């Protein structure tokens, strides 16, 4: 009889592994939380009204953000950027990145982050990382991208990140030995950096840090569009380190 036929319900909001853990919790009352699926489970619990599971996920966040998990958490945030629970987690993760900048930028997993997330991190005023480390991270990410996209030029890819690097803060000998020979940073940028180090008054600050000057002119805030967000929501992060999720129609998500 048709009444006994199975019906397939497609759940598009959450990944299979996330929904599997959700079902496991519903059936058994317990589930093993993992950094890779944490954000998905937390948002699914909130979405389906499983408050105890949501609170458990929120508590787990406090102890699972570390150098080994930070990139996985940021990558998963891309998938669930439209959910309100993402807001608090992304903020905590970015604060960790700020405090451990040099270490995070040297991670191999940093190359797995979406381009706009890499730009977001490099642009943060609060990021505790030296400028050469930022350059090396951008170079590492760009090389990885070119390996996966053979028809792209390294110079073009890394060009997306150069405005976030203050080359005038990189020692002259490093600029000439490590950066300039690569041929991927415009000569004008190198020369402006060297000129500033010789005589700071000789160079327009806007040519040294165009991104920083632009952010100051725009109220020191930036907005990064999520490429995977089906609802067109934005993650907006101000230079003070606060974060805010806003939908494309300008309405803010509730806390």
pLDDT in tens, 217-245: 554 443 443 333 333 333 333 333 433 33
pLDDT tops 70 at residue 2: no
pLDDT tops 90 at residue 8: no
Whether the model clears a pTM of 0.85, i.e. scores above it, the answer is no
Q: pLDDT for 113-140, tens place per residue?
A: 999 999 999 999 999 999 999 999 999 9
pLDDT for residue 211: 60
CB 183 within 8 A of CB 198: no
**What average pLDDT is seen over the chain?**
81
Q: pLDDT for 166-206, tens place per residue?
A: 999 999 999 999 999 999 999 999 999 999 999 999 988 87
Strand partners, 226: none
């Amino acid at each position: 009889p048709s009444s006994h036929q199975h019906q397939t319900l497609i759940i598009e909001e959450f990944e299979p592994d996330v929904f599997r853990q959700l079902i496991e919790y519903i059936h058994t009352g317990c589930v093993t939380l993992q950094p890779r699926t944490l954000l998905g489970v937390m948002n699914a619990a909130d979405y389906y009204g499983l408050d105890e599971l949501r609170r458990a996920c929120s508590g787990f966040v406090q102890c699972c953000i570390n150098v080994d998990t930070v990139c996985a958490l940021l990558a998963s945030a891309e998938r669930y950027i439209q959910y309100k629970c993402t807001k608090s987690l992304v903020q905590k993760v970015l604060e960790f990145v700020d405090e451990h900048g040099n270490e995070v930028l040297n991670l191999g997993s940093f190359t797995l982050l979406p381009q706009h997330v890499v730009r977001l991190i490099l642009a943060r005023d609060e990021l505790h990382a030296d400028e050469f480390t930022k350059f090396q991270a951008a170079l590492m990410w760009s090389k990885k991208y070119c390996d996966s996209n053979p028809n792209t030029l390294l110079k073009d890819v890394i060009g997306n990140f150069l405005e976030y690097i203050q080359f005038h803060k990189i020692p002259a000998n490093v600029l000439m030995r490590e950066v300039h020979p690569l041929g991927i940073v415009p000569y004008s940028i190198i020369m402006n950096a060297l000129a500033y180090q010789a005589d700071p008054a000789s160079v327009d600050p806007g040519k040294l840090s165009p991104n920083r000057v632009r952010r100051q002119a725009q109220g020191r805030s930036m907005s990064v569009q999520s490429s995977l967000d089906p609802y067109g929501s934005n993650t907006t992060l101000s230079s003070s380190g606060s974060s805010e999720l806003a939908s494309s129609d300008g309405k803010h998500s509730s806390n």
